[in-house]
Every structure is written in C-alpha cells, then in structure tokens.
Amino acid sequence: MQFEVFTLLPEVFPSYLETSIIKRARERGLIHVRVHNIRDYTHDKHHMTDDTPYGGGGGMVMKPEPIFEAIETVLGLNAEPTQPKPESNIPIIMLTPQGRVFNQSIAQELSQHEHIVLICGRYEGIDERIREHLVTDEISIGDYVLTGGELPALILIDAISRFLPDVLGDPTGAQDDSHAMGLLEYPHYTRPPEFRGWKIPEVLLSGAHAKIDKWRREQALLRTFKKRPDMLEKAELTKEDKKFLERLKSEVKSEK
Ligand code: ADE
C-alpha cells in the first residue's frame, strides 16, 4: 500500500513513521509513505502557498495551484487546466473537520486500496476549487478543530495499515480490536496473577477455553453497555448476547 502525503510541514512525519509497527511495516515493504512538500510546487519568488480570502475577512486560504500541481505531478496526471477532476481511481482525501468522521470501518474500507493520497490542510481553509475539482473524499478525525491535517493523516496511515496482511504480529489482531466487532474489547491481564492484592479473574487461570471465550464476550458486552451504549445498536449480536444484555438492563433498572 502506497500513501502519498501532501503537506506544508513534512518535518512532522518522520518521527512517527520511524517508530514501532509502522517502521517495521515500511522496512518490510508492506507500506510505503511518501511525504511531499506542497511548497516545492510553487513558482513565485516567495514560494507562497496561501493568500488572503476574496470577500475579505481574517485568516489565509491555501492557494489551488501548488496543490493541483503537486498531486498531478506525483500521480502522473497531466490534467488540462480546464479539465475537472483528473481521471484516477486513487482516493484523494482531504483531512478536514468538515469530512465524514473516521472510524474503524472507514479504515478497513480504505485498506482495500493500493494507493491513497492524503492532503493536509493548514491556515484557515483551502480554496474551494481544490475540494470541488481535485478531492474525492473528505475525512475528519472528530468534532474538534486542529491546527492542521498532519496528525489526522498519521492517524489514517496508522489505522489503515493495521488492516494490511502481516503488519500486525498477531494475524487476528485487527479482528479482535475494540470496534472491530462493533463492541469494545474485553479486559486484558498479564503476570503477576496478584498485584497489590488485586487478583485477576479466576476464569482466566482455568485453562477452559470455552469458558474464557464466554467470559470475554460478556465482558465486551458489559463494557460497551456501560461506556458506549450507542455502539450496541449497530453491533452484530447473537441470541445469547441479547439475553445477556437484557439481564444487564433489568439489573440496572432494579438498582434504580
Ligand atoms: N484538520 C483540522 N482539524 C481536523 C480534524 N478534526 N480532522 C481532520 N482534519 C483536521
């Protein structure tokens, strides 16, 4: 999988990309990340990438020419100036708080592509023609505003890469994650079995795999019920799950 990142702050990326699982995935050729400086595609003396907004008002707006040129050059799309969106099935994603809100299923969907473009916005905004004639998708990482799209781009690269074969040491890793099954993950414990008097749940020492699976499923349901009840509406639930949840609900009612 190849990521092409377009940014005005390329120096933000190396430290994260050269660490841990993402570093190993890059070294093993499972993912490739190329970071392109939008400023390299300016032709004026001051290398301007932004300008004041038409109609007045505060802030600066990212200019269209350098971003179009950068992406068309890197993707080898030589669009005529009058031609709308260059023909390509590569997603050209703008990171913006106006986009659809990123989640695990969007990460999985994007992991099916071999090539993805990520544009990191800065300043107050971007010229609307970039959105209309270049970008094919807009993604937000949540309902808050950051100073730019660099952290969101890293978040997408990380979450998408985890779905690619062999990126995680444990091949079932991505399937068991919180959110993967539409539920939060069950609690984990490791040695020692007792720490400051706090013991791990007995069942985990039993060696009875069916019992452990049942306990984990119920814990995942319990956690989701307590912390993210909204997720239960979309989760795939078995008859047993539904029964367990009914019991939880009636327990809560009787506590009130
Ligand atoms: N740029 C600024 N804020 C953002 C957000 N919440 N998501 C994606 N890109 C952004």
How many CA atoms are closer than 13 Å to the CA of 47, on its beta-carbon side?
A: 6
Q: Among the atoms of ligand 1, which is closest to the Cα of residue 147?
A: 2
Q: What is the pLDDT of residue 67?
A: 97
CA of 185 to the centre of ligand 1 (A): 26
pLDDT tens per residue across span 43-76: 999 999 999 999 999 899 999 999 999 999 999 9
Distances (CA, A) of 185 to 6, 176, 179: 34, 7, 7
Q: Is 143 a catalytic site residue?
A: no
What does the domain layout of the chain look like in residue ranges? 2-161, 181-255
Q: In this structure, which residue's CA is closest to atom 4 in ligand 1?
A: 97
Report the distance separating Cα 18 and Cα 81, nearest Å: 38
- Cβ–Cβ < 8 Å for 88, 115: no
Among residues 177, 185, 218, 241, the one annotated as catalytic is 177
Closest CA to 15 of 160, 154, 116, 140: 154
Q: Is the CB of 101 under 6 A from ligand 1?
A: no
Task: Dig out the tokens for 170 from the structure.
Answer: 């444990």
**pTM as predicted:** 0.92
53 exposure class (CB count in 10 Å sphere: 0-12, 13-18, 19+): middle
Q: What is the pLDDT of residue 46?
A: 97
State how far Cα 228 lies from the chain centre.
19
Q: Is 97 a catalytic site residue?
A: yes
Q: In this structure, which residue's CA is closest to atom 5 in ligand 1?
A: 97
Helical H segments across 7-164, by residue range = 14-17, 20-27, 64-75, 104-110, 128-133, 150-161
Question: Under CATH, domain 2-161 is a member of which superfamily?
Answer: SPOUT methyltransferase, trefoil knot domain (3.40.1280.10)
Q: Among the atoms of ligand 1, which is closest to the Cα of residue 95?
A: 9
Q: What is the pLDDT of residue 83?
A: 61
Task: Dig out the tokens for 190 from the structure.
Answer: 């490791």
Task: Dig out the tokens for 75 from the structure.
Answer: 């993707």
Q: In this structure, which residue's CA is closest to atom 2 in ligand 1?
A: 146
Report the distance separating Cα 21 and Cα 80, nearest Å: 41
Q: Is the CB of 210 under 6 A from ligand 1?
A: no
Q: What is the pLDDT of residue 177?
A: 78
Reduce the DSSP state of residue 37 to 3 states and report it.
strand
Ligand 1 test: best mutation among 12, 93, 96, most atoms within 8 Å of CB? Answer: 96
Series of mean pLDDT values for 10-residue runs along the chain (256 residues): 98 98 98 98 97 94 97 86 67 97 97 98 90 96 97 98 93 73 94 98 97 98 97 95 97 89
- Cβ–Cβ < 8 Å for 88, 29: no
Report the distance separating Cα 47 and Cα 42, nearest Å: 5
* 181-255 is a CATH 1.10.1270.20 domain: yes
Ligand 1 test: best mutation among 94, 95, 154, 155, most atoms within 8 Å of CB? Answer: 95
